[in-house]
Amino acid sequence: MSEITEADLAPNVKALYLKARSAVQTQNYGYAIKLLQSVLKDAPTFLDGRKALRNCASLHTGGPKKSSKVFGFKTGGVGTMKIAGQVKKDPVAALVMIEDELEKDPYNLDVNDQLFEAFSAMGLPDHAAFALETIRKGHPEELKPMHKLAEFYIHREDPAKAAEVYRDILKHHPTDSVAIKGEKDCTARASMQKGGWSENANMADLQRNKGEAAELDAAGRSGLTRDQLEDRRDRLILKYNEDPNQLPVVKDLAGIFEQLEDWANSHTFYSWGYSLSNGDVALQTKSGQMKDKMEEQQLKDLEARAASNPDDPEVQAMLAERKVLRIAEALEEAKKRVDVNPTDPTLRYQLGQAYYDAGDYSNAIPHLQQAKRNPHIQSKVLLLLGRTFKAKGMLDMSLRQLTDALGDLIAMDNVKKEILFEKGLVHEEMGDKPGALEAFKQIYEVDYGYRDVAHRVESSYGG
């Protein structure tokens, strides 16, 4: 049997489907369910219809129910043994029985598993994936069906989707070793797939001569053009395909992707390198940095999309949700890094920044105070401490941190301008207009266009 679309429906069946869609629009989900079940009896391979039916049943029943069953073991109560037997005899006939059960509980683990088996027997891979994706949507914490879905995508040579499933597994089971390795493997494979780097690539297509491998290892990575970096990347991919466990090759690939500003792939290979290295903290740090850059880029892309579509409420809502999620993710990631290396002042600064961004100023302070031990970042730390005290309304302490931050700064660089501007704002909040003006004037004298200092200074003269 083959999968069909709305255009393939018989006229009478299509009429029922259109009635069902109208019923959905009026939120008459019970009536829509009956119509869609009739549609699927006549057109069992109409995937859009089945998706619509599942959505209606979810809305009608109130969403996923708490699982009381163990996936893979039939515990009775909903006739899953009878369904399983029918699936083996006649998977098409079993579909009606399955949908009767899913009308009551659309996210049922065992029934959706039987639906997967029925569609697999019918040779309908997209339908089969939908059955397990339904479990993923309703019960992402269930380990067995999630692994089953990931393996299904791997067999279908869709490593990108498999990697997404493994990432979902790790949200609920962060120590699952199979998911950890699977996510890294599949992400790397997806990257190669996207770049056209087949695991069975003909080396003669990319190597100019047999001596290029040695030349590759000896070549310096700095000062290369983008074309040279891409050529080096492609040749390294060939070596990686021969053996993905060569740590020097993995590290080289991670570095090349970093130079190409391909943050997602760089994160993947630094992370894989960390796994191979038996705990190299430098690689772990790099992996974290690349992940941060990747997520920052994704947020920038979404911000640009939102700016281009100011009247699209869906895009604006996506951006707002992503910003909230990004702050929460950054905080959790920063906590993990400090747990691994609690004596690193830079990591303490990053955790303080994460707490600040999350609006948890009290928790930010002790980490920022510890971060002051690193003289190389002390000015940035004091600036953030100043902002943190300001956010808590402790203006005198904020001013003290900002004054200390200026102590070792001579050149009027961007950091000094930022500190002076923040100091001017604190003076303003304290009602100290001369102090604020003095801070703004120092910036004005060297950078007329910095923020709104020109307006602030000139307006004080009545201009």
Which pLDDT value is given to residue 317?
85
Tokens of 312: 């699209």
Half-sphere exposure at residue 418, Cβ-oriented, CA atoms within 13 angstroms: 12
Which pLDDT value is given to residue 368?
95
Q: Within the chain, which residue ranges are assigned CATH 1.25.40.10?
A: 221-308
User: 196 pLDDT band (50/70/90 cuts)?
Assistant: low
> Which range (217-226, 342-351, 453-462) has the least confidence?
217-226
Cβ-in-10-Å burial (0-12, 13-18, 19+) of 342 comes to exposed
Residue pLDDT, tens place only, 121-138? 999 999 999 999 999 999
Contacts of 273 (CB under 8 A, 6+ apart): 247, 250, 251, 254, 280, 283, 287
Best mean pLDDT range from 225-234, 272-281, 356-365 = 356-365
Q: How many whole angstroms separate alpha carbon 85 and alpha carbon 73?
A: 14
Q: Pick the closest to residue 195 from 260, 276, 275, 111 (CA basis).
A: 260
Q: Are 420 and 442 in contact (CB under 8 A)?
A: yes
Which pLDDT value is given to residue 277?
85
User: 197 pLDDT band (50/70/90 cuts)?
Assistant: low
Task: With H, G, I as helix, E, B as strand and everything else as coil, classify residue 425.
Answer: helix
Q: Are 255 and 283 in contact (CB under 8 A)?
A: no
Please state which CATH class domain 221-308 belongs to: mainly alpha
Residue pLDDT, tens place only, 138-191? 998 899 999 999 999 998 889 889 999 998 898 888 788 888 888 888 888 887
Which pLDDT value is given to residue 223?
57
Query: Within its chain, how far is the Cα of 332 from the centroid?
Result: 14
What would the mean pLDDT of 320-339 be, rounded to a whole number? 86
Contacts of 328 (CB under 8 A, 6+ apart): 358
Q: How many whole angstroms separate alpha carbon 36 and alpha carbon 74?
A: 28
> Which range (70-79, 370-379, 384-393, 440-449) has the least confidence?
70-79
Which pLDDT value is given to residue 195?
62
Q: Is the pTM of this model over 0.85?
A: no
The CA-CA-CA angle for residues 216, 221, 222, to 5°, reads 150
Has residue 55 got a pLDDT over 50? yes
Has residue 242 got a pLDDT over 70? yes
Task: With H, G, I as helix, E, B as strand and everything else as coil, classify residue 224.
Answer: coil
User: 213 pLDDT band (50/70/90 cuts)?
Assistant: very low
**4, β-bridge pairs:** 46
Has residue 204 got a pLDDT over 70? no
> Which range (109-113, 200-204, 225-229, 428-432) has the least confidence?
200-204
Which pLDDT value is given to residue 135?
93
Has residue 79 got a pLDDT over 50? yes
Residue pLDDT, tens place only, 412-458? 888 899 999 999 999 999 999 999 999 999 999 999 999 999 999 99
Q: Are 197 and 265 in contact (CB under 8 A)?
A: no
Tokens of 234: 């492609």
Cα dihedral sign, 312-313-318-323 = positive
Q: Are 190 and 264 in contact (CB under 8 A)?
A: no
